[in-house]
C-alpha cells in the first residue's frame, strides 16, 4: 500500500504509547504525525550524523566516566598532603560517593529526557557536574568534598553517561556494536588523558586550580558534545524514575546480575593490583604507568569486542571473557609473586575483565525498544552503584581482617569467584533472549 492510499483510508489507526502508561493504546491515524511520511524524513542510520553522535558520546563518557579515574590523583593528595591526620577510610568516602552517584543517578535521565529532550538533559548534566567541580575547588573539609566532588559531580556525570549510552542506540543499526564499543572505551581512555593533566596542574599550581581547570575542560567539551546530541527518530522514554516492570523481566534481571558481579570482580583489580606491584618491589611511578597500560588494553578490548559482537554474539563474548578473567585471577594472580607473571596478568585482565561495559548496553539496545533502553541502562548502573557502595568496604575489610594488609589472597578469591559466578546469569541470559518476550522489540537483533 502506498502512502497516498494509506492516507485515503478514513478510519486507519496506528499504535502509539500513552504519556501516562507504558501500555500501548490505539489512536486515530490523524491524532499523531503521519509516521509513513516522517519515516522518509528521518536521517539514515549508520551514516552521516550518526558518527557525530558517536564521537560526542565518546567524549562525554571520557569526561564523565574518566574523571573518577583522575580523582585517584586527588585521593593520593588528600592522603599525603591535605588530610594527613584523617583516617583513610573516612577519606575514601569521597571517591566512594562519586563512583556510587555516577552509577546510580542515571535513572533520573529518563524522566528528564521525556520533559526537556536528549540535548537539554545532557546539558543539564554538564551544568550540575561543573558546579560540583567548581565548588570542590573551594572545599576545605572532607564532608565538603563528599558533597561536591562526590554527590553533585557524580549526579551530573550520571545523567551525561545515561544519555551517551542511549543516543547511539537511536542512530546505529548495522554498526551498533562498533559504536557502543568505541563509546564505552571512553572511560578507559579518560584515565589515559585526564590523569596526566590533573597530575601536572596539581604539581605546577595547586589542587584548587586543578579542580577549576578540570571544570573548565568538562564544561567546554561536554557542553559542545551535549549540544550535538539529538535523537534520530521521535521517541518518548518512560516518565518513571524506576520502571519496575523490568524487574519482572528475566532477561533484564540477568543483565543486572552480571553487572553487579562484574563490579565486584573488576574493583578488586582496580583497587588492589597497583599496591600488589609496589609490594613486589616496583615503584609507585611504575605502578601508575602500568595503570595507563591497563587502561589502554581495556579501551582496545571494548572497541574490539563491540565490533566482534555482530559475528560471535555479545553474550557469547562476555561468557568467554568472564570465565577467562575468573580463571586468570584464581591462577596467575593468586600464585604469582614476581613482576613478570604479574605484568602478564595485568595486561590480560585489561583485555578480558571489561567487555561487558560495552556489551551490556549493546545487548539492551539490541533487544529492547528505544523507549526502554535508558531505563534498562539506568537501573543496571543503579544496581552496579549499590554493589560498589557495598563491595568496596567489604573487600577492604577482607583485606584488613583476613589478609592483614599483606596478603591479597582474600580479595583475589572474591574477585575471581565473582567473575566465575557471573557466567551463570550470562548463560541464563542467552537462553532468555531466545524466548518470546513482550518487552523486546518486534525484531530482536542477534546478541
In order of their start, the domains of the chain are 48-241 (1.20.1250.20), 242-442 (1.20.1250.20)
Q: What is the pLDDT of residue 285?
A: 74
> Is residue 30 very low, low, confident or very high in pLDDT (cuts 50, 70, 90)?
very low
- How far is Cα 91 from Cα 377, in angstroms, rounded to an integer? 29
- 101 three-class SS: helix
Q: For residue 117, how far is the Cα from the chain centroid?
A: 21
Give the pLDDT confidence of 352-361 residue by residue, as tens digits: 998 898 898 8
Can you give the pLDDT at residue 9? 41
- Give CA separation, 321 vs 38, 62, 290, 318, 328, in Å: 42, 23, 21, 5, 10
Using an 8 Å Cβ cutoff, are 409 and 403 in contact? yes
Higher pLDDT, 50 or 80: 50
The pLDDT of residue 437: 65
Mean pLDDT of 153-172: 90
User: Please, what sign has the CA dihedral across residues 368, 370, 375, 379?
Assistant: positive
- Top pLDDT among 216 and 289 is at 216
Alpha-carbon gap, residue 25 to 118, rounded angstroms: 25
pLDDT of residue 13: 37
> What is the per-residue pLDDT across 249-269, written as a single tens digit (0 to 9) for each?
899 999 999 999 999 999 888
The rounded mean pLDDT for the chain is 82
Give the Cα separation of 3 and 435 in Å (integer): 34
335-384 confidence digits (pLDDT tens): 998 999 999 999 999 999 988 988 988 898 888 887 777 788 888 888 99
* pLDDT at res. 114: 84
pLDDT of amino acid 28:
40
**1 or 193, which is more confident?**
193
Find out whether 67 and 194 touch, Cβ atoms under 8 Å. yes
Region of poorest pLDDT, from 8-17, 54-63, 298-307:
8-17
Do residues 96 and 392 touch, judged by C-beta distance below 8 A? yes
Q: What is the mean pLDDT of residues 232-254?
A: 77
pLDDT at 110 over 60: yes
**pLDDT category of residue 241 using cuts at 50, 70 and 90:** low
Q: Of the ranges 5-9, 75-79, 279-283, 409-413, which is most confident? A: 409-413
pLDDT over 50 at 53, yes or no:
yes
Higher pLDDT, 40 or 80: 80
Look up residue 442 and give its three cell numbers: 518486534
Tell me: pLDDT of 157 over 80.
Answer: yes
Report whether 253 contacts 247 (CB < 8 A).
yes
Amino acid at each position: 500500500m502506498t502512502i497516498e492510499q494509506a492516507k485515503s483510508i478514513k478510519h486507519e489507526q496506528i499504535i502509539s504509547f500513552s504519556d501516562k502508561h507504558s501500555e500501548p493504546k490505539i489512536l486515530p491515524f490523524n491524532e499523531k504525525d503521519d509516521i509513513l511520511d516522517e519515516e522518509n524524513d528521518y536521517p539514515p542510520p549508520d551514516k552521516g550524523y550518526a558518527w557525530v553522535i558517536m564521537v560526542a558520546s565518546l567524549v562525554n563518557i571520557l569526561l564523565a566516566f574518566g574523571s573518577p579515574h583522575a580523582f585517584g590523583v586527588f585521593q593520593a593528595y588528600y592522603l599525603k598532603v591535605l588530610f594527613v591526620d584523617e583516617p583513610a577510610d573516612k577519606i575514601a568516602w569521597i571517591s566512594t560517593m562519586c563512583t556510587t552517584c555516577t552509577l546510580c543517578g542515571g535513572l533520573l535521565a529518563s524522566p528528564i529526557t521525556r520533559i526537556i529532550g536528549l540535548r537539554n538533559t545532557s546539558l543539564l548534566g554538564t551544568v550540575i557536574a561543573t558546579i560540583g567541580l567548581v565548588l570542590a575547588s573551594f572545599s576545605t573539609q572532607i564532608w565538603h568534598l563528599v558533597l561536591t566532588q562526590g554527590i553533585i559531580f557524580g549526579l551530573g556525570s550520571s545523567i551525561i553517561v545515561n544519555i551517551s549510552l542511549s543516543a547511539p542506540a537511536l542512530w546505529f543499526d548495522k554498526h551498533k556494536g562498533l559504536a557502543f564499543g568505541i563509546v564505552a572505551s571512553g572511560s578507559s581512555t579518560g584515565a589515559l588523558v585526564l590523569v596526566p593533566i590533573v597530575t601536572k596542574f596539581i604539581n605546577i599550581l595547586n589542587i584548587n586550580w586543578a579542580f577549576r581547570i578540570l571544570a573548565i575542560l568538562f564544561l567546554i567539551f561536554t557542553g559542545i558534545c551535549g549540544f550535538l546530541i539529538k535523537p534520530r527518530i521521535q521517541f518518548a522514554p518512560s516518565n518513571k524514575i524506576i520502571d519496575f516492570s523490568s524487574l519482572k523481566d528475566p532477561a533484564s534481571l540477568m543483565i543486572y546480575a552480571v553487572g553487579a558481579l562484574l563490579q565486584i570482580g573488576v574493583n578488586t583489580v582496580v583497587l588492589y593490583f597497583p599496591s600488589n606491584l609496589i609490594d613486589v618491589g616496583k615503584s609507585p611511578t611504575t605502578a601508575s604507568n602500568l595503570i595507563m597500560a591497563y587502561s589502554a588494553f581495556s579501551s582496545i578490548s571494548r572497541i574490539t569486542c563491540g565490533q566482534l559482537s555482530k559475528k560471535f554474539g555479545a553474550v557469547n563474548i562476555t561468557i568467554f571473557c568472564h570465565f577467562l578473567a575468573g580463571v586468570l585471577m584464581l591462577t596467575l594472580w593468586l600464585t604469582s609473586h614476581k613482576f613478570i607473571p604479574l605484568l602478564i596478568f595485568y595486561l590480560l585482565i585489561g583485555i578480558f575483565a571489561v567487555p561487558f561495559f560495552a556489551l551490556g548496553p549493546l545487548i539492551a539496545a539490541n533487544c529492547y525498544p528505544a523507549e526502554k533502553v535508558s531505563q534498562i541502562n539506568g537501573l543496571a548502573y543503579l544496581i552496579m552503584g549499590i554493589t560498589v557502595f557495598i563491595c568496596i568496604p567489604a573487600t577492604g575489610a577482607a583485606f584488613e581482617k583476613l589478609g592483614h594488609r599483606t596478603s591479597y589472597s582474600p580479595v583475589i578469591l572474591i574477585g575471581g569467584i565473582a567473575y566465575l559466578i557471573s557466567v551463570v546469569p550470562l548463560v541464563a541470559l542467552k537462553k532468555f533472549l531466545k524466548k518470546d518476550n513482550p518487552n523486546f522489540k518486534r525484531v530482536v537483533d542477534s546478541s
